[in-house]
Amino acid sequence: MLNRRHIRLKVLQLLYSKKTGNIDNVSLLKQFDLASINFYRLFLTQLLLFKEIFIESRRIFNVNKKKYFKNQDGLISDLFLNNQLLLFIHSNKFLTQAEKKFKLDYWKLNLNKVQNIFKIIIESDLSSNYSAMEKNSYQFIHDIYKNIIVNNEELFEFYEDSELGWSDDFPLVNTLILSWFTNFSINQSLKIPRQIFKDKSDKKFGKDLFKIVVRDRDKTEIIINDFTPEWDNERIAVIDKIILKMCIYEFTNFPSIPVKVSINEYVEISKEYSSPNSSTFINGVLNNIYKNLLEKDLIKKNERGLQ
């Protein structure tokens, strides 16, 4: 589920909150746990949307049948009611239990959102094109998610208003959903992911990184100042400063993470979460700091970290 980049983002958000507000470390670590759970809740909510889409398709099919409207019956039956992926999601016991456990009643309380998105799907060229060709039920769900649901502004605003942090989680959750759809089309025995973190080491990585950086006093501040002599300390953006500190500690305190991976990850994060020129600045500063720490024999990487 959560990958290392998203864990870094969660830690960055916590450290920024620490820097800009009077929040104690224990509370921030609890926020890390809550934010991770909330990420998983969004993943499940996206899958539950398809469960509700299936239910809506069945409702529309029955309404049409009573009113003798036959024009959409074949389309709804082929693309929705007989769709193997939708049938799996609709009948999945784990998803039903998770819906109750995590109180994921967003769609049941907002059925108009489901009805609107179903109407958009059924009236789209995508549905028409699939109705005229050999059916691939897995690919159809993948394509309506990628081309309609992900790009629907009403749904995005709904997520944004529903839970704090879901707008930040949305891109990665979308990537994970699309990947899961693709893998399910290959292996129909594939289960819905049941863990927030891939393994315990990922969760530990996030918490350890936060604890190490938040304990920092002047150590990394001095290093950063030495390699940004033309920059006034106050001129370096708060986000950029935190990113530099996080990466420096990955250099020196996480022997299994390759240096190139750390630099690339933080450069990419800065492109999305900092100013337009930050990525170039951060890339240059980190490379110079790395060379200096290496000369001083302050970077110790194990076999995995040297890959």
User: Can you give the residue range of the structural domain that contains 220?
Assistant: 216-295
Given its phi and psi angles, is residue 121 left (phi above 0), alpha (psi -120 to 50 degrees) or beta?
Answer: alpha
pLDDT in tens, 106-155: 999 999 999 999 999 999 999 988 876 666 788 999 999 999 999 999 99
Residue 134 corresponds to which amino acid?
Answer: E
Q: Is residue 193 part of a domain?
A: no
Residues 6 or more apart in contact with residue 233 via CB below 8 angstroms: 225
Which pLDDT belongs to residue 49? 98
**Helices within the chain (DSSP H only):** 4-20, 25-67, 73-76, 84-91, 93-101, 111-122, 125-131, 137-144, 153-162, 166-186, 200-215, 219-226, 238-253, 259-273, 278-295
Contact 75, 125 (CB under 8 A): no
Phi, psi of 175 (to 5 degrees): -60, -45
Say how many C-beta atoms besides its own lie within 10 A of residue 93's C-beta: 7
Which pLDDT belongs to residue 3? 87
Q: Is residue 204 part of a domain?
A: no
Q: Is residue 29 part of a domain?
A: yes
Do 157 and 256 sit in the same domain of this protein?
no
Q: How many domains, in total, are found in the chain?
A: 2
Phi, psi of 197 (to 5 degrees): -105, 150
Lookup: tokens for 84:
């193997």
The CA-atom distances, in angstroms, between 65 and each of 68, 78, 169, 269 are 5, 15, 40, 52
Q: Is residue 265 part of a domain?
A: yes
Which pLDDT belongs to residue 243? 96
Q: What is the largest CA-CA distance in the chain?
A: 81
Do 21 and 93 sit in the same domain of this protein?
yes
For residues 99 and 105, give the distance between their C-alpha atoms in angstroms, rounded to a whole number. 7
For residues 284 and 279, give the distance between their C-alpha atoms in angstroms, rounded to a whole number. 9
Q: Is residue 198 part of a domain?
A: no
Q: Of 186, 205, 226, which residue is a domain's last?
A: 186
Which pLDDT belongs to residue 229? 80
For residues 57 and 68, give the distance between their C-alpha atoms in angstroms, rounded to a whole number. 16
Do 156 and 239 sit in the same domain of this protein?
no
Question: Which residue ranges in the chain fall short of pLDDT 50?
Answer: none
CA atoms within 13 A on the CB side of 143: 16
Do 149 and 231 sit in the same domain of this protein?
no
Closest CA to 159 of 47, 46, 272: 46
Lookup: tokens for 241:
């400063």
pLDDT in tens, 84-119: 999 999 999 999 999 999 999 999 999 999 999 999
Which pLDDT belongs to residue 155? 94
For residues 118 and 144, give the distance between their C-alpha atoms in angstroms, rounded to a whole number. 10
Which pLDDT belongs to residue 71? 61
Q: What is the CATH number of the domain that holds 280?
A: 1.10.940.10
Which pLDDT belongs to residue 166? 92
Residue 115 corresponds to which amino acid?
Answer: Q
> Which DSSP string do the residues of 182-205 spell out, in sequence order?
HHHHH-TTPPPP--SBSSHHHHHH
Closest CA to 203 of 21, 28, 33: 33
Q: Is residue 40 part of a domain?
A: yes
For residues 146 and 150, give the distance between their C-alpha atoms in angstroms, rounded to a whole number. 6
Contact 148, 117 (CB under 8 A): yes
Do 130 and 277 sit in the same domain of this protein?
no
Which pLDDT belongs to residue 153? 95
